[in-house]
Every structure is written in C-alpha cells, then in structure tokens.
C-alpha cells in the first residue's frame, strides 16, 4: 500500500511511523494518562486496516485523522490533545512554504498528483514543468489574494471545483470556437507578421496549424476548427494546378483533351490535399504550446456547412483524406503506427451520409472503420441538434462544440444572423452533487436547501471568473481579440462587450448525478422510480442558470463536467467528510456528469436512449459514450450504433482500446492490475510495466488520453463494462 505525502509524492506505507508518532505524543503526557505499547500497536493496526479498506492510496492527512479518531476511541484524550497540538504546530510551519515544496517536487518529478493531473501532459518535460511551476505560483496568488476565502475553502474541501485556478491570475478564458474562415479569407497577424489569404490548400493548412498553436497559447481550454473553412482553398489549388499543367504542356508542345487535363489536375490536387491534411495531423501532434502540451483541438467535419455543391464535393475529399490518415495513425518512436490523442475528430451524421443510398454514405462507412480502430471520429446528429439548438428566430442550428464538449448557446447578432464561430466560454465552476446529497443525510427538504446554498456559492465563484475577464484589453492576446480568432477589436479596446448578451457563455458544471440519486433514492437513476428525481435535479440546475442569466445578461449554461483529476479529488473529499458510504463514495472516483455508472450492465442502445434525455438538459455541453470491444471485424454493428445516434441523441462516441507494447510488440489491450496497493498498467504478453515503453490510448473525458491517469481515473477505466 502506498501513501500520498503532502507534496503529492508517494511512499510505501510504514506502520512504524504511526507507532513512533503516537509514542511521542504518549510520552508527552503524565504517566497515569499514558497508553500501553500494546494499545499503541492496536491503534496503528486499526489505522492500517482502515487505509486498506479505502482501496486507494490514502493521504498523510487522512491517516492522521484516523490516528486521532482511534486515540480518542481508546479514551486517551490527553494523548489525543498532544497529538492534535503537534499537528497544528507543524501545519503552521508548513503553511509558509507549501508552494516551495510543491515546485521542488515538480522539478524532481516526484509529485504523483501532478504527474497524473493531465493525461496529455508529460511531467518530465521541461516545458510541462515550467507550466506547472507557473501554475503553482498562480494558484498560490489566487488562493491567498484573488478569490474570496469561502470559495477557496469550498474548492479545497471538494464541495465545488474552481476549474483552472492555476490560470486564474492571468486574464485568460476557457474554450474557443475559432473563426478560421475570417482569418484565412481576410488575413491575420501571427507574432507581428502579416499573413495574407493563402494561395493554395496546403498553405491554408499550414497557416491553420499556426493559428491553432497561437490560440492554444493564449487560453487554457479546448478549441475547434471546421474543415469547411479550408474547403474553398481546394478550388484555389485546382485553378493553380490547372494553369501549371497547361503551361507545362505548352512548353513541350502537347495538347491535352479536357478529360486528360482533368485527370492530371485531380491527381495532383489529391496529392496536395494529402500533404495539407498530413500537415495538420503531424503539426498538431508534435506541437508543444506554451503550456507544455499538444493543442486541445477538435476538427469538425460537416457537409451541411458547404455553401454550394462543388464546395461540398471538395469538403468530402478533405474529410475522406482526414479519416484515411487518422485510420493509419502516427508512428511512435519505434516506428509503429499508434493512435494519437489529437486532433479530436467530429463527424456530423446527416441525411446525405446516413443511409446506404445517401451520396456520401461511403464517408460514414470510412468513419465507422476509423472509429473501430482509433476511437475517432465522434458523432453529432444533425437531426437531433437542429431540434435542440434553436435560436430566438425559431431556427435550429448544427455546429461543433469547443474542444471536447463545451457547447455555445444559440445566438443571433444585431443583424439577425446566427453566429457561432468566433465565440468562446469564460470559465467553469463545478458543483459536487454527491456532497449535496450526503450533506442532507437523505432528507429531501434539506437536500433542496443545501443545493440552493451550493448553487449560490457556484454563482459567486462564476462571477469571480467573469469579473477577472472584465476590463481585459485586446492587447493581452492579439491573435484572439484583434486578428480574427474571436474578434477584431482595436488595440487597447476592452473585451467587455463580448462578455455579455450571449456572445460568450459561462458554465455551471456538475458531477456525480448517479451517486447523488443513488443516495437520495437508494436506486440508480436508470430505475424508473428514481429517474424523475434525477431529471428534477437537472432542471433545478438549469433554472438556476436561467435566473443568473436574467440577472446579469450573461449566458450561464449547464455543463456536464469532464472530470479527469477532479474525479479522484472529489472522491477523496467525500470519504474524508463522510467516511465510506457503500455504493456511494467507496471508490476512487465519482461518475462524470449524468452518465450511467461505469459498472452498470446496460446495452449500448438503451444507454444512449436513456442518457439522451439528460444530454438535452445539459445545453452547455455533454457527451455520451458506449464502451465496446474490438469492432474492426464487426463494422456493421458500429454503423448500427451510428444510425441509432442519428435518430436518438445529439452527441456521442464509441470507446474501444488502442494499445501497443514496445517491448514485445503486443497490439492488444494493455491491462490494469494492482501491485502493492497501486493500480498499474501491464502488458498481458510480456509483463512489461514500464509506462515509457508502451503506448496506451483511452478515452477519459471526451478527449483521448495517452500519458496515463491518476489512481481514481485508472480505477474507473478498469471497472468499465462493455455495452456492446
């Protein structure tokens, strides 16, 4: 069994340290108040047993809490007083240099929490360490100076989660829907250099990757671009290649028929499209932005965005090439093709590609093949989205999320035109729903009162996010605010007008609906008798967002939080506050958003149909998934799931496994096993446990992760059941 120290490094549990600590406190009291050595030993053994029952690595603080309880349970109150006093004194000393210790542990790569905080960051790399170090300083300033004490305490206690506190000191926001069309068609400026409208498709792709990198370095969330914005440059290249071929033929005195000319031009054009798409794939994977990771970018593939038939045909070629290259994968350091984490791909299911006789059904078949092997693309149903995303003019719209799942609200500009590209999200604060339930003790009246109090706390925290952005000048991030990614403001102009009236959103996140409902009703929210309560909680959260929107003229929106490291933090905080409650907080994780619990047996179609009603009540963002085995030999089943998505749910994905062991060449599933009380990854063929010598890709929160996860998320991944 391992123990998490205060600097987040891990050590092997040592019962002798507990015995030594109790003995010192014991010797500090009068002899008649002392415990016997046997009593001290029994206390230490009881603490050890409690830690083992946690099924995870306990923290030093948790162990010390257990020691206090056991000493008092033995009636040794004077000893307990000495032990508590010693803890308090040491805490005061530590408080003065906590940030220093954390930074030093980051540099020495012994901070387990940081090493597993982000499944797409490698904490041994200098750029990542630099970002984490800056984050610790920013977090320290945030908690000591910038945020109200009650919000800091609620965050530390796991009652709420104030996302990305390590970026709060700067005037930065969350997610973006990049207006790539404006930047390519009208030009932009990157690092002080004017970038004019590109004269070829491949150049447009190259510029797009530079824009992606610049955007990622000026915000802390995900971003999305649309391939539709690249499609016009296919015709630009076609015309350019046609002129070139004609000149070549004239130079050698050859006359081509129109058919011959078209054949040569289209062949060269395909080659250029292949190079352009490859540029996006490899640049995104290999780029390291200023926060030490590849850009969290999503590429949107929607035929319905094309403005004419020729552009649609050209867009289809780009989509096809994108899928083919993702299916192939990228080579790892051993030269073996593996699954990359980015860019995330989203494919829109629509009437012109969903049926066998649809003109672009071949793209849907290719998507199914790619999903079965590489876990992407994910799927948006145009049919369902047009029903759910309706603007004030009564018109439905289909558009991409920002990053993995954050959706903008429908918006119409001053001219009555719908607008999505160029908008953004201000930030997220998440409420811990299981904590609300456990705090109520199961009393329904108390539950709603506590929920009101917690929502008001989230409201105040979200307004801190908003106020931090208010007054920000466009100069802090020219690529975003001055040169087209989000706006074209003047130099020195505040961004304030973009924070109101629905242009941007701000998100109330929620987590653990399953555990909340289970505690309050005794049943999973899939049980027909418990589902109404689950839906009423979701509606209550939406009603709160509606009230806040009316009060502030800011688009508050309910968001199904993609917990990564926070799932572990919330679970640990729940155990610390309420002890182990079987079936509720007895694991190292809590359930993401509205999802059905990962251990619950349910078929893929029933899961998607059930979760669709909750996705509808999560307008600020959510995604559903089904866990599937290797489907590469059963593509028809994948296509059936995709067709079901089209008819029943707005946004969903299929999770499979895509692993490779560099030691023995195993390309099946890398297993999760327990050793010394810790979950580790192990090759089932050769027994390799060296994470640096294996490639593991798992979906964690909408994104694919490739750098491993904390113990809570790893347990969640291990316990997932198949739905197909």
Give catalytic residues, as residue numbers.
Answer: 174-175, 402, 404, 406, 425, 559, 564, 702
Q: Is 167 helix (H, G, I), strand (E, B) or coil?
A: helix
DSSP annotation of 143 reads: I
Q: Is 153 helix (H, G, I), strand (E, B) or coil?
A: helix
- How far is residue 710's CA from residue 704's CA, in Å, rounded to a whole number? 15
Helices (H), 287-409: 309-328, 351-354, 361-374, 382-388
- How far is residue 431's CA from residue 454's CA, in Å, rounded to a whole number? 7
Q: Where are the beta strands (DSSP E) in 437-554?
A: 505-511
- How far is residue 259's CA from residue 29's CA, in Å, rounded to a whole number? 100
Burial of 245 (0-12, 13-18, 19+ CB in 10 A): middle
- How far is residue 111's CA from residue 213's CA, in Å, rounded to a whole number? 28
DSSP annotation of 296 reads: -
- How far is residue 695's CA from residue 338's CA, in Å, rounded to a whole number? 7
> What is the dihedral sign for C-alpha 627, 631, 636, 638?
positive
Output the CA–CA distances (angstroms, integers) from residue 498 to 188, 359, 394, 553, in the order listed: 20, 40, 23, 11
List CB contacts of 550: < 8 A, sequence separation 6 or more: none
Long-range pairs, 30-39, Cβ under 8 A, ≥24: 30/78, 33/76, 33/78, 33/79, 34/76, 34/79, 35/71, 35/74, 35/76, 35/79, 39/74, 39/76
Long-range pairs, 606-612, Cβ under 8 A, ≥24: 607/723, 608/641, 608/644, 608/645, 608/648, 608/649, 608/652, 609/648, 609/649, 610/526, 611/649, 612/384, 612/648, 612/649, 612/650
Q: Are 167 and 147 in contact (CB under 8 A)?
A: no
Helices (H), 117-228: 126-141, 149-156, 180-186, 201-216
Here the tokens at position 615 are 């996705």
Q: Are 618 and 407 in contact (CB under 8 A)?
A: no
DSSP annotation of 396 reads: B
Q: Is 179 helix (H, G, I), strand (E, B) or coil?
A: coil
Element (H, E) at 79: helix 77-95
Helices (H), 337-411: 351-354, 361-374, 382-388
List CB contacts of 440: < 8 A, sequence separation 6 or more: 446, 447, 450, 520
State yes or no: cis peptide before 343, omega within 30 of 0.
Answer: yes
Q: Are 654 and 641 in contact (CB under 8 A)?
A: yes
State yes or no: cis peptide before 377, omega within 30 of 0.
Answer: yes
Pairing of β 624-627 and β 651-655: parallel
DSSP annotation of 144 reads: I
């Amino acid at each position: 069994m391992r123990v998490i120290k205060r600097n987040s490094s891990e050590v092997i549990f040592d019962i002798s340290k507990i015995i030594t600590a109790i003995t010192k406190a014991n010797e500090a009291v009068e002899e008649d108040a002392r415990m016997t050595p046997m009593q001290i030993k029994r206390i230490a053994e009881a603490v050890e047993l409690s830690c083992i029952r946690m099924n995870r690595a306990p923290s030093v603080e948790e162990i010390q809490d257990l020691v206090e309880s056991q000493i008092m349970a033995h009636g040794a109150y004077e000893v307990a007083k000495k032990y508590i006093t010693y803890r308090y004194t040491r805490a005061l000393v530590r408080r003065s240099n906590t940030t220093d210790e954390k930074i030093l542990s980051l540099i020495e790569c012994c901070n387990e929490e940081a090493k597993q905080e982000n499944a797409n960051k490698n904490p041994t790399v200098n750029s990542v360490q630099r970002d984490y170090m800056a984050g610790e300083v920013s977090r320290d300033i945030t908690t000591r100076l910038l945020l109200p004490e009650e919000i800091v305490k609620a965050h530390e206690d796991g009652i709420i989660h104030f996302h990305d506190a390590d970026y709060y000191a700067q005037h930065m926001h969350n997610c973006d829907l990049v207006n790539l069309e404006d930047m390519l068609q009208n030009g932009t400026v990157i690092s002080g250099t004017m970038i004019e409208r590109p004269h070829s498709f491949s150049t447009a792709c190259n510029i797009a990757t530079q824009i992606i990198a610049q955007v990622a370095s000026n915000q802390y969330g995900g971003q999305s671009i649309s391939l539709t914005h690249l499609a016009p440059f296919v015709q630009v290249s076609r015309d350019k290649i046609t002129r070139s071929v004609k000149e070549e033929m004239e130079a050698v005195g050859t006359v081509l028929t129109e058919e011959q000319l078209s054949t040569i031009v289209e062949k060269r054009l395909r080659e250029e499209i292949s190079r352009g798409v490859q540029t996006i794939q490899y640049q995104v994977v290999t780029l390291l932005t200023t926060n030490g990771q590849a850009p969290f970018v999503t590429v949107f593939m929607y035929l319905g965005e094309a403005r004419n038939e020729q552009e649609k045909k050209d867009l289809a070629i780009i989509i096809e090439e994108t899928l083919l290259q993702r299916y192939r994968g990228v080579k790892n350091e051993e030269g073996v093709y593996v699954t990359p984490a980015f860019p995330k791909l989203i494919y829109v299911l629509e009437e012109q590609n969903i049926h066998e006789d649809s003109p672009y059904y071949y793209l849907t078949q290719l998507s199914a093949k790619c999903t079965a092997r590489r876990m992407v693309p994910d799927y948006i149903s145009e049919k369902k989205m047009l029903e759910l995303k309706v603007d004030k003019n009564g018109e439905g719209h289909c558009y991409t999320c920002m990053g993995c799942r954050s959706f903008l609200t429908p918006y119409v500009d001053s001219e009555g035109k719908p607008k999505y590209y160029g908008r953004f999200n201000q930030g997220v604060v998440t409420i811990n729903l299981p904590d609300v339930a456990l705090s109520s003790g199961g009393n329904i009246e108390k539950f709603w009162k506590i929920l009101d109090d917690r929502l008001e706390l989230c409201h105040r925290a979200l307004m801190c996010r908003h106020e931090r952005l208010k007054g920000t000048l466009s100069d802090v991030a020219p690529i975003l605010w001055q040169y087209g990614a989000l706006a074209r403001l003047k130099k020195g102009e505040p961004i304030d007008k973009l924070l109101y009236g629905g242009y941007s959103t701000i998100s109330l996140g929620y987590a653990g609906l399953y555990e909340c409902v289970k505690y309050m009703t005794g049943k999973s929210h899939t049980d027909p008798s418990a589902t109404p309560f689950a839906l009423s909680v979701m509606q209550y959260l939406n009603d709160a967002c509606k009230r806040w929107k009316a009060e502030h003229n800011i688009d508050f929106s309910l968001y199904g939080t993609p917990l990564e490291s926070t799932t572990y933090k919330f679970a640990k905080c729940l155990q610390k506050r309420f002890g182990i409650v079987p079936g509720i907080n007895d694991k190292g994780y809590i359930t993401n958003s509205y999802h059905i619990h990962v251990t619950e047996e349910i078929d893929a179609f029933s899961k998607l149909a059930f979760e669709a009603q909750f996705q509808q009540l999560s307008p600020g963002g959510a995604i559903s998934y089904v866990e599937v085995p290797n489907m590469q030999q059963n593509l028809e089943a994948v296509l059936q799931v995709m067709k079901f998505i089209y008819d029943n749910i707005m946004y969903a994905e299929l999770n499979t496994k895509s692993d490779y062991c560099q030691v023995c060449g195993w390309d099946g599933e890398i297993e999760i096993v327990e050793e010394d009380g810790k979950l580790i990854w192990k090759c089932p063929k050769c027994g390799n446990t060296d994470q640096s010598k294996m490639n593991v890709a798992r979906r964690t929160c909408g994104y694919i992760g490739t750098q491993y996860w904390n113990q809570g998320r790893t347990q969640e991944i291990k316990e997932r059941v198949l739905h197909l």
